[in-house]
Chain A
Amino acid sequence: MATTDVPGANGKLSEQLDAVVIRFCGDSGDGMQLAGTQFTNVSAVFGNDVSTLPDFPAEIRAPAGTLGGVSGFQICFSSSDIFTPGDEVDTLVAMNPAALKTNIADLKRGGTLIVNEDAFEKSNLSKAGYESNPLDDEESLAPYQVQKVPMTSLTRDAVAELGLSPREAERCKNFFAMGLVYWLYQRDATPTEEWVKTKFAKKPELVDANLKALHAGFNYGLTTEAITVHYRVDPADLPPGNYRKVTGNEALAFGFVTAAKLAGKQLFYGGYPITPASDILHELSKLKNFDVVTFQAEDEIAAITSVVGASYAGDLAITASSGPGIALKGEGMGLAAIMELPLVVVDVQRGGPSTGLPTKTEQSDLYMCMFGRNGDCPMPLVAPASPADCFEMAQEALRIAVEFMTPVLLLSDGYIANGAEPWQIPEISSLKPIKVSHENKQQGDEPFMPYLRDEKKARPWVVPGTAGCEHRVGGLEKLDVTGNVNYSPENHQYMTTLRAEKIAGIADFIPEQTVEGPESGDLLVISWGGTYGAVRTAVKQTIQEGLSVAHAHIRYLNPFPKNLGDLIKRYKKVLIPELNTGQLRMIIRGTYLADAVGLNKVQGKPFLISEVKQKIREMIEEK
């Protein structure tokens, strides 16, 4: 789809492309996350649709130059709608041999490989397990357009006059790499230049050095004879509006703050640091002027129980963690469930069990979140589909919590949390309000009944300090209406059913399930959470191939949308791709007796579009 223009003023060809995937990779000290983020920013500001996938090294301080220390950042930018950071890489920037070794397999044939030639010396080669220099192996590099650039020395030369230490000088090489890629894709570097000026405001020598390195990289592309083509990706045709880039964790923080503002309530966040959920705490901690109270608790149990206390005292209260921390919160969630208090628990899933793959994504906490509490203890579950969707689902989670007086779980994952995409900044006036009413008894009324229910089966929410409504709650079984402790067998049966019915009843107040594609047909692909983009794209493309396939992406996992069962029946086959061994599939099979088939991957990596497409074709072919 590329069109080649006549040579431009500098004598270089300019090719137009629809979508490009770039991956920056290097040692964790090489500043690759920064390079990727900056490239994302300039592309987003330029108007492309963007989608990103940061890939953090599994070890925080792996020895420099080793395979374990490779850090990567992939970005797809496009002139049309995209939903994933892409399957194959068009341009790979590898800052050292280890990065080359671990990433080259993803570079497409004919793709551009830019390497920092200086880093391919003896010690780095041996740390990466190369017996000889792969850059000399012409045969294996033949499928790619290889640009060997001595980035370290070029950067050093570029900043020579500034009198930096050699280390400081070499540190700027990521800016050199960025400059070169900016030239290659005709990016306007202004947003990055502004960023450098503010970031290093207190260290003018670093402003100079990074800008010089950036420009040196750009000029290298312009002048070197080795590179003859550069590329253009036009702005995307997004719906009109104001945009910014958000990561999932940022969007969650924005969503929670927004919900609290809309409800006119204080937001309370109790949390304990854990990857990849910590950024939610970091983001909210900055927003104290929004009447946000953040509490870094001593552990996840204290985090959830502080949130229970804050909710009892009338705050909109949330906590977030990842698998191991959610496991610790189970007892606290049960307490909130029996006390029928509103709060939200965010699980940013990562690879498990136990500490598992802490920096990698997975969807394997669904069972835990659906069932992982003692007793019969259903909790509403919602799952955003993408980074930007986190904004809406954060509000949805709090709205359900407050309207139904229940703890709610929100399942995100590492891929959504750290990935970024454009987010259309909403008009504040267009946001759905969140209504909170606190019981406030008048003098001389009947005694206050803390477990009297409204039409949604929700009990009243009273703020301590309200005269005349003094009451006690706790983890022991309640007598309905009075809330007094009651152990009678009939009451426990009744209350267990009542709590379950209350949660099931939420189905009447959430949107029905929609599908992309035909309303009936050969195959329905059901997905949830962060696999949305890959599945959506795969289904779209197989529909274009003429296959009878549709996609239902579920954002409300408990209760399911009311029409889901009927919808499933309209297709001959059901496929459920998940980044686990089949958790939603088991639940769908159990709930609807549907013979769903799984596509399951647990490698700490998201699906490739091609993997999903292949499975769709297979299932439709084997009639």
Chain B
Amino acid sequence: MSVDVTLPVLSPKDFASDQEIRWCPRCGDYSILAQMKKVLPTLGIPKEKFVFVSGIGCSSRFPYYMDTYGMHSIHGRAPAVATGVKLANPDLQVWVITGDGDSLSIGGNHFMHVLRRNVDLKVILFNNQIYGLTKGQYSPTSPMGTKTKSTPFGSVDRPLNPLSVAIGARATFAARSVDVDIKHLCSVLERAAKHKGSAFVEVYQDCNVFNSGAFEFASKKGKKEENVIYLEHGKPLIFGKERDKGIRLNSHDQPEVVELGKGVTEDDLLFHDEKSEDMNLAFLLASMRHPEMPEPMGVFRCVDHPTYNDAVYQQVESATERSGEGDLEALFNTGDTWTV
């Protein structure tokens, strides 16, 4: 993406559309929208080059609230729509906004394929562990036993872990943040924006109407310090209010919480390497779930791979180099022809 030096300086306000926002008061979506509006002006990309594509769900109303190009599409299909947008016009920066039901239930197929292809898209999954728009059924990320209108006796489904799915699909960028963790969320969104390839970001989002406080462990001051580990490339995994705890691999190569000091030094801890080509570390981090373990926040994986859209255009270019620009007359007259 070429940066035009004469670009007008944009501010978050420039990205606000004139549409009334219809989310419930205090919904976590507001914060994510606000952080997005802060990040986009810092990217040096003209406003008209952004496209937001969403599926269906509360979170998927997002594009209406951004004064960019956008499409509120159909349930689960945003990754496929966005693939079409990006392939038709690779100059655009395309964001996919999706919910946990949208992307992992009805859209599970597309979610997996867009990531494995490495289409240059930014996929932001608003995970509230519930279906908000349809008024509170459990979702594929809801913990077992979740009681909702459709599961009055508790759900018996085993939940999916979005990051494990994304890493399993070999996402070249995978990260997690929390709606109200403003600075952290901004930095993760910014890194996603700058990643070349599919960038997947899971955001823990509070649906205060149907699943209030589901992520309090990771958002509330005083609690989150004990429950969350902020990942930094090349740094050891340390957490705790006093930064006195860390993660080490035990003799079975499983992560375990250890206290620093008392014979354990930083050097004994697991070090984060987001560039690792093998996905074991990213999987291992994704498997660390609250309450058994502190949950990692930040960038799990960020590797450089050729993008799908580039590969598609390379083929178009090399075919054109090889055979010349398409000539209809020549095309029609190939093979056996005859004159009457």
- Residues of A with C-beta under 8 A to B201: none
A351 within 8 Å of B by Cβ? Answer: no
Instruction: Name the residue among B80, B323, B339 with the largest chain A CB count within 10 angstroms.
Output: B80
Contact between A474 and B63, CB atoms less than 8 A apart: yes
B68 within 8 Å of A by Cβ? Answer: yes
Question: What 5 pairs between A and B have smallest CB-CB spacing?
Answer: A309-B84, A474-B72, A290-B326, A306-B84, A313-B88
- B 19-69 contacts with A by CB, 8 A: 19, 46-49, 51, 53, 56, 63-64, 66-69
B120 smallest CB distance to A (angstroms): 14
The residue from B72, B320, B328 contacting A288, defined by CB atoms under 8 A apart: B320
A601 to B56 alpha-carbon distance, docked (Å): 42
A291 to B320 alpha-carbon distance, docked (Å): 8
Contact between B340 and A239, CB atoms less than 8 A apart: yes
- Residues of A with C-beta under 8 A to B81: 305-306, 308-309, 312
A266 to B313 alpha-carbon distance, docked (Å): 12
Contact between B87 and A287, CB atoms less than 8 A apart: no
Contact between A258 and B91, CB atoms less than 8 A apart: no
- Residues of B with C-beta under 8 A to A41: 336
B6 within 8 Å of A by Cβ? Answer: no
A243-B338, A305-B74 as given contacts; A288 in contact with B49, CB under 8 Å: no
Residue of B nearest to A482 (CB): B18
- Residues of A with C-beta under 8 A to B324: 289
- Residues of B with C-beta under 8 A to A268: 84, 87-88
7 contacts between A and B (CB under 8 A): A244-B336, A302-B77, A308-B71, A312-B88, A332-B74, A475-B72, A485-B64
A243-B337, A244-B332 as given contacts; A473 in contact with B92, CB under 8 Å: no
Residue of A nearest to B91 (CB): A465
Query: Which interface class (under 10, 10 to 19, 20 to 34, 35 or more) fits B?
Result: 35 or more
Contact between A257 and B85, CB atoms less than 8 A apart: no
A299-B109, A309-B71, A474-B72 as given contacts; A238 in contact with B328, CB under 8 Å: no
- Residues of A with C-beta under 8 A to B339: 240-243
B324 smallest CB distance to A (angstroms): 7
Residue of B nearest to A297 (CB): B80
A331 within 8 Å of B by Cβ? Answer: yes
A243-B337, A289-B325, A472-B17 as given contacts; A313 in contact with B74, CB under 8 Å: no
- Residues of A with C-beta under 8 A to B333: 242, 244, 425
A295 to B113 alpha-carbon distance, docked (Å): 12
9 more A-B residue pairs beyond the given contacts A428-B329, A464-B51, A471-B69, with a C-beta to C-beta distance below 8 A: A47-B340, A268-B84, A288-B316, A302-B110, A308-B73, A309-B80, A313-B86, A470-B69, A471-B70
- B 277-328 contacts with A by CB, 8 A: 312, 315-316, 319-320, 322-326, 328
A114 to B289 alpha-carbon distance, docked (Å): 73
Contact between A464 and B48, CB atoms less than 8 A apart: yes
B84 smallest CB distance to A (angstroms): 3
A270 within 8 Å of B by Cβ? Answer: yes
0 or 1 for each of A90-112: is its CB under 8 Å from B? (1 = yes): 00000000000000000000000
- Residues of B with C-beta under 8 A to A523: none
A469 to B328 alpha-carbon distance, docked (Å): 34
- B 72-100 contacts with A by CB, 8 A: 72-74, 77, 79-89, 91-92
B232 smallest CB distance to A (angstroms): 35
A332-B74, A339-B71, A469-B48 as given contacts; A257 in contact with B84, CB under 8 Å: no
A23 within 8 Å of B by Cβ? Answer: no
Contact between A257 and B326, CB atoms less than 8 A apart: yes
Contact between A463 and B89, CB atoms less than 8 A apart: yes
A307 within 8 Å of B by Cβ? Answer: yes
Residue of A nearest to B56 (CB): A475
- Residues of A with C-beta under 8 A to B88: 266, 268, 293, 309-315, 317
A574 smallest CB distance to B (angstroms): 37
A301 to B89 alpha-carbon distance, docked (Å): 21
B335 within 8 Å of A by Cβ? Answer: yes
B3 within 8 Å of A by Cβ? Answer: no
A311 to B83 alpha-carbon distance, docked (Å): 12
- Residues of B with C-beta under 8 A to A311: 84, 88
B331 within 8 Å of A by Cβ? Answer: yes
A467 within 8 Å of B by Cβ? Answer: yes
- Residues of A with C-beta under 8 A to B110: 298, 301-302
Contact between A289 and B322, CB atoms less than 8 A apart: yes
**B residues at A contact (CB < 8 Å):** 17, 19, 46-49, 51, 53, 56, 63-64, 66-74, 77, 79-89, 91-92, 109-110, 113, 312, 315-316, 319-320, 322-326, 328-329, 331-333, 335-340
Residue of B nearest to A306 (CB): B84
A289-B324, A308-B84, A314-B89 as given contacts; A44 in contact with B67, CB under 8 Å: no
Contact between B83 and A295, CB atoms less than 8 A apart: yes
Contact between A474 and B84, CB atoms less than 8 A apart: no
A191 within 8 Å of B by Cβ? Answer: yes
A268 to B109 alpha-carbon distance, docked (Å): 22
A311 to B64 alpha-carbon distance, docked (Å): 19
Chain A interface mostly helix, strand, loop or mixed? mixed
- Residues of B with C-beta under 8 A to A293: 87-88, 312, 316
Contact between A241 and B340, CB atoms less than 8 A apart: yes
The residue from A44, A297, A332, A464 contacting B336, defined by CB atoms under 8 A apart: A44
Contact between A309 and B82, CB atoms less than 8 A apart: yes
A270 to B110 alpha-carbon distance, docked (Å): 14
A372 to B325 alpha-carbon distance, docked (Å): 40
B112 smallest CB distance to A (angstroms): 8
Instruction: Name the residue among B81, B315, B323, B329 with the largest chain A CB count within 10 angstroms.
Output: B81
Residue of A nearest to B65 (CB): A472
A608 smallest CB distance to B (angstroms): 29
- Residues of A with C-beta under 8 A to B63: 472, 474
A45 within 8 Å of B by Cβ? Answer: yes
Contact between B48 and A465, CB atoms less than 8 A apart: yes
Instruction: Name the residue among A331, A468, A470 with the largest chain B CB count within 10 angstroms.
Output: A470
- Residues of B with C-beta under 8 A to A235: 340
B312 smallest CB distance to A (angstroms): 6
Residue of B nearest to A468 (CB): B48
- Residues of A with C-beta under 8 A to B86: 309, 313
- Residues of A with C-beta under 8 A to B91: 465
- A 377-428 contacts with B by CB, 8 A: 425-426, 428
A335-B73, A428-B329, A485-B64 as given contacts; A313 in contact with B340, CB under 8 Å: no
A127 within 8 Å of B by Cβ? Answer: no
- Residues of B with C-beta under 8 A to A147: none
The residue from B17, B19, B69 contacting A464, defined by CB atoms under 8 A apart: B69
- Residues of B with C-beta under 8 A to A290: 325-326, 331
The residue from A240, A241, A464, A472 contacting B92, defined by CB atoms under 8 A apart: A464
- Residues of A with C-beta under 8 A to B19: 472, 484-485
Residue of A nearest to B313 (CB): A293
A312 to B333 alpha-carbon distance, docked (Å): 34
B295 smallest CB distance to A (angstroms): 30
The residue from A239, A306, A312 contacting B71, defined by CB atoms under 8 A apart: A312
Contact between B73 and A467, CB atoms less than 8 A apart: no
Contact between A306 and B87, CB atoms less than 8 A apart: yes
Contact between B73 and A474, CB atoms less than 8 A apart: yes
A315 to B315 alpha-carbon distance, docked (Å): 18
A12 within 8 Å of B by Cβ? Answer: no
Residue of A nearest to B78 (CB): A305
Instruction: Name the residue among A235, A288, A464 with the largest chain B CB count within 10 angstroms.
Output: A464
Contact between A244 and B87, CB atoms less than 8 A apart: no
A240-B340, A467-B48 as given contacts; A295 in contact with B71, CB under 8 Å: no
Contact between A335 and B331, CB atoms less than 8 A apart: no
A607 within 8 Å of B by Cβ? Answer: no
A191-B336, A313-B84, A464-B48 as given contacts; A289 in contact with B323, CB under 8 Å: yes
A317 to B85 alpha-carbon distance, docked (Å): 11
Contact between A287 and B331, CB atoms less than 8 A apart: yes
Contact between B84 and A307, CB atoms less than 8 A apart: yes
- Residues of A with C-beta under 8 A to B56: 475
Contact between B80 and A45, CB atoms less than 8 A apart: no
A266 to B325 alpha-carbon distance, docked (Å): 13
A268 to B86 alpha-carbon distance, docked (Å): 11
0 or 1 for each of A262-299: is its CB under 8 Å from B? (1 = yes): 00001010100000000000000001111111010111
